[in-house]
Structures are given as C-alpha cells and as structure tokens.
Amino acid sequence: MVDSGKLPLSFYERDNVVEVAKDLLGKILFTSIDGKVAGGRIVETEAYSFLERACHAHMNRRTRRTETLFAPGGTAYVYLCYGIHHLFNVVTNTQGTAEAVLIRALEPVTGLPVMQLRRGMTVATQLTSGPGKLSQAMGITTEKNGIELTGSEIWISPGEPIHNRDIVADVRIGVDYAGEDALLPWRFLIKGNHYVSVPVKNPG
DNA sequence: TAGAGGATTGAT
DNA sequence: TCAATCCTCTAC
C-alpha cells in the first residue's frame, strides 16, 4: 500500500543536500500531468551543491537557467540536457542557497501503461532507468520548471524507509568536467535494485 | 551575435 | 563508439 500523503516542505528545506539525496531513496514520485497519474519509487539520486563545480550554480552563479536553484526547498528544477532530454531535480535548502537533488532512476509503481505509452516501449526496467527516461515516462518537461512539489502536478510521498545498510554511494555520472569535485561520492542507489541507470563502479 | 558544449540516450 | 539536437552561456 502506497502512502499518498505528500512530503512536507521541512523535508526539502534541510541544509544538508547529501542527507536529502539519501532520504529520497524509497520515496514515491508522483505526477498528474495531462490527466494521467504515474508514480515510481526513487531508487537513484545525485546531490549537487553551489559549493562544488559540477553544480550549474557553482559559486552562486546566477543566470536565467540557474535562478530556479536559488528557490526555496521543495521546488522543481527541470532543464534541458543535450537539447533532447528533460532532467528533473528537487531543489533543497532555503531560498538563496543553490542545492538540488537530481532524480536519476525510478522503479515504476503506478500508471505503467501511461509510462509505456510515453516511452514507446514496454520493458519495465528500461522505462525509468535514467534521468532523461524517467522525465519522459512521467511526462515532466521544462514547462514544469519552478513549480512547487507540494502542488497537484508533481509531488513526492513517503514510501518505505531505506535502511542505511541498503544504500550504496558512488561517484556521479557525467560530471568529469568538475575536476576533483567529480570524485565526490554523491550518487546514491538502493543496493541490488534492478532499475538503476548505471551499475556502481566500486561495488562493496 | 556566433560558437562551443552539455547532470543523456539509443542505435551501430 | 557516435550521432542526435537545441538551449544556455561566454566571448567578442
């Protein structure tokens, strides 16, 4: 049974983005877009902070795109990557502090037919196993950038808590340009889950 | 205003 | 291994 309540703003407004990234594992991400409800268990996340170079808002760099990162915790940050893929992030911390968690993979829970239709494929493990894939499956586009996660279009519900021993930390994907910050173990996965985007580099 | 590059994906 | 594809940002 899935708890349909929404996480409170206090969950997102904490000042430790790494903690929020870990706590988001096991939670259920829901969207109600175009009249269709879809939901998936979060199985992979990445933390980003203005303190490190992989973050778009590194050193508090404010541009039109990064402005959403400075919004209060509990805001959706959606941007276009490689001109093709919409990537969905959860803004954390308080207003003016640019930190966010990238949702990288889900395990489909409800609305499977909708996800299959949007993705144009039926294989469950390939519907939402990547940041671009899950956004497509859930119907999330840059149109949703800046909306609140306590609203009625995109929200997150408490799922079953994931025990610390079932969480694996690894380096983030695709941030080699960040120099030594690319080595931060800020990617978090549910151990043994088959819906993650990329297997851990150093298992165990 | 031009040019370069990107928190990816899927086909070859 | 590589092309797709376009928005964003920087430099001039």
- Whether any strand B atom is under 7 angstroms from the Cβ of A99: the reply reads no
Taking the stretch 153-172 of protein chain A, residues with Cβ within 7 Å of any atom in nucleic acid chain B are: 172
Question: In which residue ranges of chain A is pLDDT below 70?
Answer: 1-4, 202-204
Give the C-alpha separation, A59 to A49, whole Å: 9
> What was the pLDDT predicted at A187?
97
Contact by Cβ (8 Å): A70, A55: no
Which pTM was predicted? 0.96
Cα-based distances in Å from A1 to A5, A114, A150, A158: 12, 20, 21, 11
> Minimal CA–CA distance to A43: which of A29, A31, A55, A32?
A29
Taking the stretch 165-204 of protein chain A, residues with Cβ within 7 Å of any atom in nucleic acid chain B are: 172-175, 177, 197
> What was the pLDDT predicted at A203?
55
> What was the pLDDT predicted at A4?
67
